Chain A
Amino acid sequence: MKRLKDIYIFILPLILFIGAFSLLPVIGTFWISLWRDVSFLPGKFIGLGNYLRILKDIQFLQSLIFTLLFSLFSVAIEMIIGVIVALVLNEKFTGRGIMRGVSLLPWAIPSVIGARIWQLIYRYDFGLANYLIRNITGSSINWFGSSIGAFSALVFSDVWRTTPFVAIIILAGLQTVPEELYEQSKIDGANIFQRLFKITLPVIKPIIIVALLFRTIDALRVFDIIYVITGGGPGGSTSSISLYSYKYFLLGDFGYGSTISIILFFIAFIIALTYFKIGKFREVAQ
């Protein structure tokens, strides 16, 4: 009996906090998504009405496509650069500790501050990016004038901010690769690139999938940098699902805003499940 009381003392605070401020809001959001819940109008239960509305919402489709493309491009580039950075940080050289600290910085600072810096760098008139581009090509790029320009600018900023995270996770994986594997293949005459593709990458494959999973889920919910850098423009072409949902909350339409956010959850959930499947499948196959 005494033990049971003990358990409650230890677990209860966690359950209370998560119950009240995570679980309740999640259930509440599901519930609200079944209602017409708009400021200044009486609430009305409409079942799946909001979900039917989303099927016909062209702007939602646009934000869905943007979010998927954004996640695809930024995660793919981050993974490649992240592996390279991790390989560098795994070597022995003087100042490695400082370099590891430096490699944390873009990820450690508030995303809003990183976004503000990039917004300034991309400025048409006195931005650093255009200054360099003008010196090489003679003309400037209006980053936020076209959807492709705004898209690239956002992906680049996101790659800068989240590559450190990928690099840290991959680095942890690299440190588990046994040295003997390399010794053996050196004797067999494999060069460094062969060793990278034949030994290193296959061995750390599980950890690469973990990093992919974390980063994809995180990229799908992108909000901060878009809010700051483009605000969803030009013409809504860079509005992520999170930003689109937020705009309905701002308008006071909590029913539809909640519905959009629930759809985002399901998309992330399905993609996460797919990764789990891939991860497990590979383990069994090897």
Chain B
Amino acid sequence: MNEEKLKKILLNLGIAFILIFFLVPFIWMVLVSLSKSPDFLIQGSYSLTIKNYIDILKIENLHFIDYLKNSLIISGLTAMISALIGALAAYAISRFKFHGKMIIVLSVLALSMFPQICIVGYLYKLMSNFGWINSYKALIFPYIAYSLPLSLWILMSYFSQIPNEIDEATLVDGASRLQTLGIIILPLILPGLFSVILLLFMFSFNEFLFALMLTTDYTARTVPVGIALFQGLHGEIPWGYIMAASVVSTIPIILIALFSQRYIVQGLTKGAVK
């Protein structure tokens, strides 16, 4: 009985700790975004306003809407293409026997060990030669390549759970491999596909170093770079704008995290526990 009590106290302490530690910065972000000035703590008075939000959405020179649009398009395309290519490759690896299969899997995983800084210098040169700097292409192609190992790894573990007999039955009926994958197998791993797409979207939405190096202005610049480089006209840091922009750009991610928590966790742990 005593032990149950102790456990309950510890559990409640733990819950309180998680809520305070994880959430206070978010609350702070919202408070500052809704405040007339960011220094209300020393001013001693807090005045509520939505001016920061109106400004970042209305003032064109701030280009926040451009950053958000770029981010959504780039991350959306990356997530879909990378999941598709990953699904094709993961299917082949889990179903076909062929020479060099292990080499492909191992080298893909080995490449994902390279820190981003190891490829960004050369990527910059490559993109300059292509004339792609400051375009969507300059980010989408490297993002797909850099996220493919994750996509392949997670999807491989989902495919390996589907028995081979299902494929064979469909193939006997005269369907091609591609049809088998698209019509029969993919629907079976839909939750897996969904969690991969969410994770890839989050990865590219959050990515900073490539975007910092490979874009120069609002035509292709993404939200993280925009927020990192946000500056006022006189060099001061416009905290109200930054926090309002942060709130707006984290809303989609927060919704994904809260409502699809199960899928994200599933995808992440599939990749890790194996």
Contact = CB atoms under 8 A, between A and B. Distances in A.
A26 B119 contact: yes
B104 A15 contact: yes
B188 to A, nearest CB: 17
A262 interface: yes
A198 B123 CA distance: 49
A65 interface: no
B89 A13 contact: yes
B148 A14 contact: yes
Contact of A22 (B17, B146, B258): B146
A20 B253 contact: no
Contacts of A125: 39, 42
Contacts of B272: 169, 172, 207, 210-211, 214
Interface string B122-140: 1111100000000000000
Contacts of B28: 117, 120-121, 128
A161 to B, nearest CB: 10
A262 B202 CA distance: 27
B257 A108 contact: yes
Contacts of A254: 121, 125
Interface of B: 3, 6-7, 10-11, 14-15, 17-19, 21-26, 28-29, 32, 38-42, 85-86, 88-89, 91-93, 96, 98, 104, 107-108, 111, 113-126, 141-142, 144-146, 148-149, 152, 177-178, 202, 205-206, 208-209, 212-213, 223-225, 227-228, 239, 242-243, 246, 249-250, 253-254, 256-259, 261-262, 264-265, 268-269, 272-273
Given A15-B104, A115-B228, 17 more contacts: A7-B96, A10-B96, A11-B89, A18-B148, A21-B144, A25-B119, A26-B119, A26-B122, A29-B122, A106-B22, A106-B25, A111-B208, A120-B239, A127-B41, A172-B269, A192-B10, A265-B113
